[in-house]
Structure 1
């Protein structure tokens, strides 16, 4: 038993606000009914940037991408047979486990049954350097080769990949098979692993335990999907696995 019970520390550098019922209804209508940009997400940051959708349902998953004005979702042709059925907000909220609508600057999360929702953004001000948010890239795994993973035709990037389990998944991003090469470092004889693939990007926020002083990741939000060269650090030295520190940039990629 913990001899020093206390509330979990708040993450630093992130602002999380609860959404009203009206805003939750608006998000569902924009994304699942009208197929237009999510206005609540645009209102939280610079409007016009790319938006993505990840909806986990009791009977499957719906993914989507909205780079401009209109959504392309996995429940539409030609990928509807690989996706959960479309969501009707008037009758299907019981199917929803979680809905994430996100972009580089903000994330909206609707909880189970859409009974509650939140929007998270960077908080104003600059945290201490050792508590600054960190951007990470998570590799999306799939079998390599055009017979297993392929980018679909259309104005909005979409792909179908066969996952390690053998099932097929629809991803709202162009597909790039994973590969790596050695990138020489300035120091003679040293090289870093430079990876290419298909990535989910995440921003992590830290918190410090007031009792022990321990620091760890306490909150994260999704920031996008990308294809090609790994969009964020960290990088590791080939042979030793040592962390390669970025030069001239902070750990979150900002100049």
Structure 2
């Protein structure tokens, strides 16, 4: 072992547990074989809310949404031509680079070929304010204009949009074209940009190095795919670019 080996500090506010072989098989069976809600995610305490899928395969990507009992995946009718072919875990899990099955409160990650897997959930530990988890949202940017994105019909929301590269992508959420408007804050002469669009939300977990005191993001998990008004802060003054503090 290198004499300079460094063990990174553990992220605060999250528990990450290794899955056994039976649990990994169960996730693949639920999502890809039976197309039903991922039971392990629910059993983790994630609750009855929506689940989402992002599977990166060697020959493409499969996305999906499960707001109720059944999945709607991109390898299904109407979008299969824009998706990686369906995955049969019994014969071709070698195609898997990474599979993420996630909800607002938990995430399951399966690694390459599904040889290993982990589940991450919020912990109940208390700590300093500056180490608390933070929620972020990232714009899923397609070409601007209604001609480049559309929401598909069906009980479970899915959308097709054209990416800046020119490729078409299937998103597990209704499509909202990006737009912004000024929103003046009550009792202040400051104005923030209120953004609308289609968003990937992420929770960041921070850690502090015990030797140097340096603080940084040590872990993150996906928490959802949403459309409409930007679901997380912070807000910035459109005139100065300064962050607008709450209160």
TM-score bucket of the superposed structures, by smaller chain: over 0.9
Say if 2:19 is the partner of 1:19.
Answer: yes
Equivalent-residue separation in structure 2 for 1:224 and 1:165 (angstroms) = 24
Once the two structures are superposed, residues 144-199 of structure 1 have per-residue CA deviations (whole angstroms, 9 ceiling, x without a partner) of: 22221111110011000000000000000000011111111235421011111000
Say if 2:79 is the partner of 1:63.
Answer: no
Once the two structures are superposed, residues 129-154 of structure 1 have per-residue CA deviations (whole angstroms, 9 ceiling, x without a partner) of: 11100000010010122221111110
Say if 2:193 is the partner of 1:193.
Answer: yes
Q: Which region of structure 1 is more displaced relative to structure 2, 79-88 or 118-127?
A: 118-127
Gaps of 5+ in 1: 248-255
| Matched-pair contact (CA < 8 Å) for 2:46–2:106 | no
1:111 aligned residue: 111
Equivalent-residue separation in structure 1 for 2:47 and 2:133 (angstroms) = 22
Return structure 1 stretches of 4+ with deviation > 3 angstroms.
none
1:227 aligned residue: 227
1:86 aligned residue: 86
SS in 2 for 1:202: strand
- Matched residues, number: 246
2:150 aligned residue: 150
Task: Give the C-alpha shift of residue 46 in structure 1.
Answer: 4.0
Under a length normalisation based on structure 1, what TM-score does the superposition of the two structures give?
0.94
| Matched-pair contact (CA < 8 Å) for 2:234–2:244 | yes
RMSD across aligned positions (CA): 1.4
| Matched-pair contact (CA < 8 Å) for 2:144–2:178 | yes
Equivalent-residue separation in structure 1 for 2:64 and 2:9 (angstroms) = 34
1:250 aligned residue: none
1:216 aligned residue: 216
SS in 1 for 2:147: coil
Task: Give the C-alpha shift of residue 45 in structure 1.
Answer: 1.4
Equivalent-residue separation in structure 2 for 1:83 and 1:128 (angstroms) = 44
SS in 2 for 1:144: coil
Under a length normalisation based on structure 2, what TM-score does the superposition of the two structures give?
0.97
Once the two structures are superposed, residues 8-44 of structure 1 have per-residue CA deviations (whole angstroms, 9 ceiling, x without a partner) of: 1111110000001000000000000000000000011
